[in-house]
Amino acid sequence: MAVTPVQTELGSVPVARSRTAAARARLEGIWARPITRAVLKAILTIWTTITLTFWLIRLMPGNPIDLKIDELTREGAITYDEAKVMASSLFRIDLTRPIQDQYVEYMGDVLRGDLGSSFLSAGTPVTSIILSVLPWTLFAVGTGVFLAFLVGIGLGILAAYRRGGVADGSITTVGSIVSSVPNYLVALLIILVLGVQLRWLPITRMRGAFSPGVEPGFTPEFIGDVLFHAALPISVFFLATIGHWILSMRGSTLAALEEDYVNAARARGIGDARIATAYVGRNAILPLVSQLAIAAGASVGGAVFIEQVFVYQGMGLRLVKAIDQRDYPIMQGIVLVTTVAIVAANLIADLVYSRLDPRIGRAGGSSG
């Protein structure tokens, strides 16, 4: 029997509905995964930060052309119109375009991986400028934070196992004090006490990333000089963060010691050393793993004040110079790189935490 067009249409309706339901089920399955939601939130966070940075820096008083005009007219040798022509020809940028057009163009460049070129250093890509200062920040801040993490973990475990004793009281007191002191105050105290009052440190010679005249390369002379100049920033970041790791690890260890599985392990006759490493230590350090990843991501942005104090050629010092000069592309590029690093570190922390603690992976499905 021939199939009429009406029958064909009626028969295709259930098929279309089943396909729609299957597609909806697949999308719901993908959305149900925590990793999918985390990635989407990360993308939204990065986009929001880029957008806010773009609009906010243009609300700052002045721009590169205005600052150059003020500099030229301050000398009194030329008129305002002459200075304006000179500044406009010097920078070759058009800031009179509608800001929404500038934003659309900038977002298109970012999606292509192009962060633009510096206003003041014509033709110099922002990417190359960031790559020239990023290693110094990663080395100084990363080394200080990582050393503080290792030492803080050890001292925190010691304080927890000596709870109520002299060691616990001393370590906890020191950790509380140093964790409450801002890093810029630590830097000032080092300069004033060790450099000016006691004169134990040659602060002037230790400023900068390396000494003038030293040839960069993997040579003992250059490596020693880099460590000499990085000693002060590393020490500041170490002292400013070790208190947090001590107190966090102590509290986490004390909580782990009260768990039932620790008592069960002791009842089975397992030694204290085995319990401390395989049971208490492993579970107590889990919450700190995510914090370390976040701290590592935040280290990309550096510490603006610390790098200023020690004239350390990192991301923070370069950002300050860009703000003073109203170099919009460099400001946007540094904020973008810092944001991506922090967001990526949060994602990595979530993944690592779920892998280290299988219960999270089973409950949330992030491992899937």
Q: Any idea which residue has 């922390």 for tokens? A: 349
pLDDT of residue 7: 52
Query: In this predicted model, which residue has the larger pLDDT, 27 or 91?
Result: 91
Q: Decide if pLDDT at 303 tops 80.
A: no
Neighbours of 162 (CB within 10 A): 14
Q: What does the alpha-carbon distance between residue 317 and residue 328 come to, in Å, rounded to a whole number?
A: 15
Is residue 259, in this structure, part of any structural domain at all? yes
Q: Are 337 and 347 in contact (CB under 8 A)?
A: no
* Res 361: pLDDT: 47
Confidence of residue 25 (pLDDT cuts 50, 70, 90): low
Least confident of 51-60, 64-73, 224-233: 64-73
- In this predicted structure, the answer to whether residue 359 has a pLDDT above a threshold of 60 is no
pTM for the predicted model, two decimal places: 0.79
218 belongs to a structural domain: yes
The answer as to whether 52 is a domain residue is no
Assigned domain for 106 exists? no
Does the structure show a pLDDT above 80 at 180? yes
Q: In this structure, is residue 224 part of a structural domain?
A: yes
Helix or strand holding residue 315 (H, E): helix 315-325
Is 249 part of any domain? Answer: yes
Q: How far from chain centre, in Å, is Cα 240? A: 16
Q: The domain that contains 166 carries what CATH number?
A: 1.10.3720.10
Instruction: Establish if 42 belongs to a structural domain.
Output: no
CA pair distance 285, 289, nearest whole angstrom: 6
Q: From the DSSP assignment, how many helices (H) and strands (E) are in the chain?
A: 17, 0
Percent with pLDDT over 90 in the chain: 28
What pLDDT is recorded for position 365? 41
Q: pLDDT tens across 94-131, in order?
A: 777 888 988 999 999 999 988 988 887 777 899 999 99
Residue-wise pLDDT for 210-225, tens only, equals 888 888 888 889 999 9
- Dump pLDDT digits (tens) for 242-257: 999 999 999 988 888 8
Average pLDDT, the chain: 82
Segments forming the whole domain that contains residue 145: 129-364
Number of compact structural domains in the chain: 1
- pLDDT at position 238 over 90: yes
pLDDT at 3 over 60: no
> Residue 153 falls within a domain, yes or no?
yes
